[in-house]
Amino acid sequence: MTSTRRAAWLVPTALIALTLIPMAGGALRLTDLAAGEVTPENARFFAAPVPVLLHILSAVLYCLGGAFQFTSTFRGPTHRRLGRVLVPAGLLMALTGLWMTLFHPYPEGDGDLLAAFRLVAGSTTVLALVLGFLAIRRRDVARHRAWMIRGYALAQGAGTQALVTIAWVLLVGPATGLTRTLLLGAAWVINAAAAEWLIREPHRRRRALYRSGRLERTA
């Protein structure tokens, strides 16, 4: 594999690695449901297991599959075919997440502020996917790209939340109560900021090329 091809796979590989963290949590949740042992911690999932199952499966599909959309290898027909699967998966993931936030009782340590964060993130993900889909229907590739990146960044919140929380615990100490809530919210902010940086990267590259061209002409 050439250095160019390796570089093209850096972002997808990092995103896949980020997905593995919540995937492990989802696998444990599915194991709990399959075992059938109800505890105070998982009782809310047994009360309505279908949204939980759909949320985990659609999130894994969306986050893993979406990572491949960031490489130039998946362009043209392959990109479009994968997108037709990922958009419904992303919508299902976000909508089931919203349902669980609204109708599941809060687990210990959660509260209204964290629920509000989740509602904002989930609703914005739905909006981004819908606007991205409508943009590509109009052949507006730039807006399609921007909205799909925003939606995917928010969907990857769980992985970033795990990293942020682990870093806090290692450097500061236990993350509980309001501290935990703010860390989880900060992870979505980090992902949203990263998305905006990535969206603007082509503009920065064009400006750099334009400036270098002007320097060559004046040299």
Q: To the nearest whole number, what is the mean pLDDT of the chain?
A: 89
pLDDT digits (tens, 9 = 90+) for 78-113: 899 999 999 999 999 999 999 999 999 888 889 999
Tell me the residue range of the domain where 201 lies: 3-218
pTM: 0.87
Amino acid, single-letter form, for residue 199 = I
Burial of 52 (0-12, 13-18, 19+ CB in 10 A): buried
Q: How many helices (H) and strands (E) does the chain have?
A: 10, 0
Angle CA 161–164–168, to nearest 5:
135
Phi, psi (deg, nearest 5) at residue 161: -60, -40
- Count of structural domains within the chain: 1
- CB of 51 within 8 A of CB of 78? no
